[in-house]
Amino acid sequence: MVPVEASSARAFLEAIIAAFSVLGGGMAYFSGYYAAQALAQDQPPEIVAHRVNEGIGLGFRLISPLSIVALIIVVWS
């Protein structure tokens, strides 16, 4: 079994948390933006819910490369 230093494991865990924070923030931004657009157009709740889901998907698609970059930056620093 390969010994693992506690400091390196903690640094890797912090990098993963940073990456998921970037991803979650992007998904929350896009879902809120799409929901605000639908609410401004007086759409019914079903359409607003659909727009929120579209925003979450778009946020995941656009921000996931940035979250990987954040992971790399935190691991290297």
- Report the amino acid identity of residue 17: I
| Tens-digit pLDDT profile for residues 15-58 | 999 999 999 999 999 999 999 999 999 999 999 999 999 999 99
CB 63 within 8 A of CB 39: no
What's the burial of 23, exposed, middle or buried (CB within 10 Å: 0-12/13-18/19+)? buried
pLDDT grade for 76, boundaries at 50, 70 and 90: confident
Return phi, psi of residue 42, to 5°: 55, 45
